[in-house]
Amino acid sequence: METRRIPLLAQSLGTERAIVSFHYGPQDSGRKAYLQSSLHADELPGMLVNHVLKQRLAQLEAEGKLRAEIVLVPVANPIGLNQHVQGSHTGRFEQLTGENFNRSYPDLAALIVEGLAEVLTQDPLHNQRVIRERVKQALATLQPGTELEAMRLALLSLSVDADLVLDLHCDWEAVFHLYTADPLWETLKPLAQLLGAHASLLATVSGDSFCFDEANSQIWWQLRGRFPDYPIPNGSVAATLELRGQSEVSWANAEHDADALLGYLAHQGYVDLPPPALPPLLHDATPLSGTESLQAPHSGVVVYRAEPGAWLRPGDPVVDVVDPLSDRVTTLHASIEGVLYARHFLRFATCGASLARIAGSTPIRSGNLLSQ
């Protein structure tokens, strides 16, 4: 195992931080998997999963059972990890700028498109190598102006040449679910089965500024669209994994998820382990555009009527919003059929607050499909 440290641009005197990565397995195998956790720094289940994976991978490496390089970044956001306000951790947005830590990654295709046609051939593996080399060169020329920009570039520099990129997050209160792109679903479906995903939400373009996983994966079909005469593979199979809710940090969950991730790596040939049997998928994948978000029509106390994982039909009650001043009680109902995969952990709503999300099979939304 090799430990690497990428210093970040210090935003203020005496506050230098770094991205620390752990590299297991042969670095000359031609294959690479990358797993990071807690990019939203107050989402901690993935950090514990990566801790467990570190021990497992060290043992597998000692036994000579790693067939590819596997990179772990347990603390992907040291900036947000240090953001606390009177005892409350605020790790989703940078306090200095208000920016979401998982948005605004650079458009990698735009960085390398000029002159690319001159070096592409009819060999897809050659094209994959050329594109990766150009992206790494382009990232090396970018000069960050802030610590946040430096962190984004550091994370991408570790992931852009990986065949598999998994970004470990969690939701408010939730069952396990994941986000990925339509072209990648068949490759990632076994992972959803092993992890027990209740919802697998697909969108080739989410509409938001680039998330981390999309920055890694979208470049490949963007370039296929620009250069249709050349075979360009899906050079990065990337996904965001939502490891249940923020409070569900336990050894049992971490061991289960680490087992599932190693099982998937075995299925994909990254580790020399017997691939586990695949359980049935709990629910079919659905379009991200089919998700219904229930929002509070007025402020009040939040009382949920449905639990995460519940299968809902149109008209089923999901949540009450109670105004104790006027005694107004508003019940929000599902308008679609699907699984309630996430709900807010706060029990007081401001007007317009997003309270719950249901994964449906029919597209009902467009534009920015991910919440901020």
- pLDDT at position 371 is 65
Of the pLDDT bands very low, low, confident and very high (cuts 50, 70, 90), residue 367 is confident
- pLDDT at position 206 is 85
- pLDDT at position 208 is 65
Of the pLDDT bands very low, low, confident and very high (cuts 50, 70, 90), residue 105 is very high
Q: What is the mean pLDDT of residues 181-195?
A: 98
Q: What is the mean pLDDT of residues 163-181?
A: 98
- pLDDT at position 370 is 82
Model confidence at 372: pLDDT above 60: no
Q: CA–CA separation, 19 vs 95, rounded Å? A: 19
DSSP 183: G
- pLDDT at position 98 is 96
Q: What is the mean pLDDT of residues 36-46?
A: 98
Model confidence at 197: pLDDT above 90: yes
Model confidence at 202: pLDDT above 60: yes
Q: CA–CA separation, 348 vs 233, rounded Å? A: 47
Strands 199-202 and 177-180: parallel
DSSP 351: T
Domains of the chain: 2-268 (3.40.630.10), 286-360 (2.40.50.100)
Pick 146 or 369 by higher pLDDT: 146
DSSP 246: T
Tell me the percentage of the chain whose pLDDT exceeds 70.
Answer: 99
Q: What is the mean pLDDT of residues 308-325?
A: 98
pLDDT tens digits, residue range 215-231?
999 999 999 999 999 99
Structural element, H or E, at residue 117: none
Q: CA–CA separation, 74 vs 296, rounded Å? A: 35
- pLDDT at position 5 is 98
Of the pLDDT bands very low, low, confident and very high (cuts 50, 70, 90), residue 173 is very high
Mean pLDDT of all residues belonging to the chain: 97
Model confidence at 248: pLDDT above 60: yes
Query: If you search the block for the tokens 């005496």, which residue do you land on?
Result: 14
**AA identity, residue 61:** E
Q: What is the mean pLDDT of residues 28-35?
A: 97
Of the pLDDT bands very low, low, confident and very high (cuts 50, 70, 90), residue 207 is confident
Give just the sign of the alpha carbon dihedral 194, 199, 204, 208.
negative
Model confidence at 138: pLDDT above 70: yes
Of the pLDDT bands very low, low, confident and very high (cuts 50, 70, 90), residue 209 is confident
- Name residues whose C-beta falls within 8 Å of residue 311's C-beta, 6 or more positions apart in sequence: 337, 338, 339, 340
pTM confidence score: 0.97
Q: CA–CA separation, 339 vs 337, rounded Å? A: 7
Q: CA–CA separation, 239 vs 288, rounded Å? A: 13
pLDDT tens digits, residue range 60-76?
999 999 999 999 999 99
